[in-house]
Amino acid sequence: MTHLFQFNYCNPTRLLFGPEAMSTLGALIPAGARILLMYGSGSIRHNGAYDDVMTAMAGHAVVEFSGVEPNPSLETLDRAVALVRQERLDFILAVGGGSVVDGAKYVACAAGYAGDGWDIVSGRQPVSEALPVGAVITLAATGSESNGGAVVTSLARQQKKAFFSEAIRPRFAILNPHYLASLPDRQIANGLVDAFVHACEQYLTYPVDALVQDGYAEAVMRALRLLAERYDERRSPGWLQNLMWAANQALCGILGVGVPQDWATHRIAVELTALYGIDHGRTLSILQPSLLRETIEAKRAKLEQLGRRVFDLVDPAAEEVIAAIEAMYRRLGMPLCLTDAAVGDADAAGTVLAALHAHGLDAFGGHANIDAAMTARMIRRICLPA
């Protein structure tokens, strides 16, 4: 039976790409706006982004909030919420990686909500209104600069969770690849893998004859595979601008319209970060090959298509395609098991499975029918040396 596409897609984020993009920032923010400028631990002071923003913001009222940590916490972000209320701010400008942008999205929602902010993250309080957010992205990975998702961690609950709302898609995003120049190699590799897995989660299910969606996803994954092969060029402006655009396109929402998706890798990934503080991209390189091995029959046809069209393999078996993905991660220096990520927990499988159980994530269902036994096998596999 023909799979019929059914979707409602609107991406209102204006993208300004390139070295000149910042020159338009002043005009993008409404005159008279009172701005909260959010950033992390200070990398924006070393790559020029902070100075460029301050120059462009001359004439605007700007209050700064720094210290948004990687995997931003509710506890930190609620201090920014209090600042927004106290200073009567009405526009949030995020300058940094996905963590800062996600943090800004949360603050934009929580500022107008009197209850516990975790209600927003947990989905108990659906979000239909938020303060406007703008993003200046300095790390190419999440696509957060033009999507409607945000991921927040509650330190008190030891839980990391994503929430979604159309109201939090940024009004604009400035993508200047020059700001990526100060990234350490580790974050470049993390970003490449994160973007690759985002495309996979929207593609690696079963064939539905989605000619456009498959073609877009394959173009993005192919670009990322080529960047991995040319990893020694990663400091060149050309390499960096391709990463920045690929990462944006991988999770702006367009790849997955109307097609089956499977986000199980990401849904488990948040637990590894919450428990062990592993970088998001690294949780994915650890989990995804194990998940693909567990679900190989349900995903066989798409895995083999990916092998042919993205990795240029001739008539590959799905097993070889998983090996090719793993080899790409290895080439980037990414961990493939928990011990590679220096997790010393002697009963890591027990710990991770207990966290998944506590959060109602023993089974994921979906097209691959992931049940509790499959989840347990996946987790045990990542505890063995790769």
List residues near ligand NZQ by CB under 6 A. 40-43, 47, 70-71, 96-100, 102, 138-139, 141-144, 147, 149-151, 179-180, 182-183, 187, 190, 194, 251, 266, 280
The item of Zn ion, ligand NZQ, none sharing an interface with residue 96, based on CB under 5 to 8 Å by kind, is: ligand NZQ
Minimal distance in Å, beta carbon 13 to ligand NZQ? 12
Minimal distance in Å, beta carbon 320 to ligand NZQ? 27
Question: Six-digit token pair at 215?
Answer: 């073609």
Q: Angle CA(227)–CA(231)–CA(237) in degrees, nearest 5? A: 75
Please report which helix (H) or strand (E) contains residue 94, including its range: strand 91-96
- Residue closer to Zn ion, measured from CB, 174 or 197: 197
Total residues at interface with Zn ion (CB under 5 A): 1
- Residue closer to ligand NZQ, measured from CB, 190 or 290: 190
Distance CA 37, CA 66 (A): 8
- Residue closer to ligand NZQ, measured from CB, 151 or 368: 151
- Residue closer to ligand NZQ, measured from CB, 133 or 139: 139
The item of ligand NZQ, Zn ion, none sharing an interface with residue 165, based on CB under 5 to 8 Å by kind, is: none
The answer to whether the CB of 256 falls within 8 A of the CB of 164 is no
The answer to whether the CB of 109 falls within 8 A of the CB of 167 is yes
Minimal distance in Å, beta carbon 248 to ligand NZQ? 11
Pairing label, strands 159-164, 34-38: unpaired
The item of Zn ion, ligand NZQ, none sharing an interface with residue 289, based on CB under 5 to 8 Å by kind, is: none
- Residue closer to ligand NZQ, measured from CB, 43 or 165: 43
Query: Which candidate, 129, 194, 127, places its Cα nearest to that of 164?
Result: 127
Q: Quick one: DSSP state of residue 231?
A: G
133, β-bridge pairs: 92
Distance CA 181, CA 47 (A): 7
Query: Which candidate, 187, 292, 287, 281, places its Cα nearest to that of 240?
Result: 187
| Choices 14-22, 74-82, 193-201, 299-307 (CB under 5 A): range interacting with Zn ion | 193-201
Minimal distance in Å, beta carbon 234 to ligand NZQ? 13
Minimal distance in Å, beta carbon 3 to Zn ion? 25
Contact between 194 and Zn ion by CB under 5 A: the answer reads yes
- Residue closer to ligand NZQ, measured from CB, 134 or 143: 143
Q: Quick one: DSSP state of residue 3?
A: P
The item of Zn ion, ligand NZQ, none sharing an interface with residue 151, based on CB under 5 to 8 Å by kind, is: ligand NZQ
- Residue closer to ligand NZQ, measured from CB, 50 or 318: 50
Minimal distance in Å, beta carbon 123 to ligand NZQ? 15
- Residue closer to Zn ion, measured from CB, 194 or 218: 194
- DSSP H stretches of helix in the chain: 25-28, 49-56, 74-87, 98-110, 118-122, 185-201, 211-229, 237-250, 264-276, 280-294, 296-309, 318-331, 348-358, 372-382
**Which residues in the 317-356 window bind Zn ion by CB under 5 A?**
none
The item of ligand NZQ, Zn ion, none sharing an interface with residue 253, based on CB under 5 to 8 Å by kind, is: none
The item of Zn ion, ligand NZQ, none sharing an interface with residue 161, based on CB under 5 to 8 Å by kind, is: none
Minimal distance in Å, beta carbon 283 to ligand NZQ? 8
The values of phi and psi at residue 340, to 5°, are -60, -30
Q: Which residue is nearest to Zn ion (CB)?
A: 194
Query: Which candidate, 11, 19, 10, places its Cα nearest to that of 244?
Result: 19
Minimal distance in Å, beta carbon 185 to ligand NZQ? 11
Q: What is the CB neighbour count within 10 angstroms for residue 261?
A: 15
Distance CA 351, CA 357 (A): 10
Burial of 200 per CB tally in 10 Å (0-12, 13-18, 19+)? buried
Question: Six-digit token pair at 382?
Answer: 């990542």
Q: Angle CA(335)–CA(339)–CA(345) in degrees, nearest 5? A: 135
- Residue closer to ligand NZQ, measured from CB, 280 or 305: 280
The values of phi and psi at residue 140, to 5°, are -95, 110
Burial of 346 per CB tally in 10 Å (0-12, 13-18, 19+)? exposed
Minimal distance in Å, beta carbon 180 to ligand NZQ? 6
Minimal distance in Å, beta carbon 315 to ligand NZQ? 32
Residues that bind Zn ion (CB under 5 A): 194
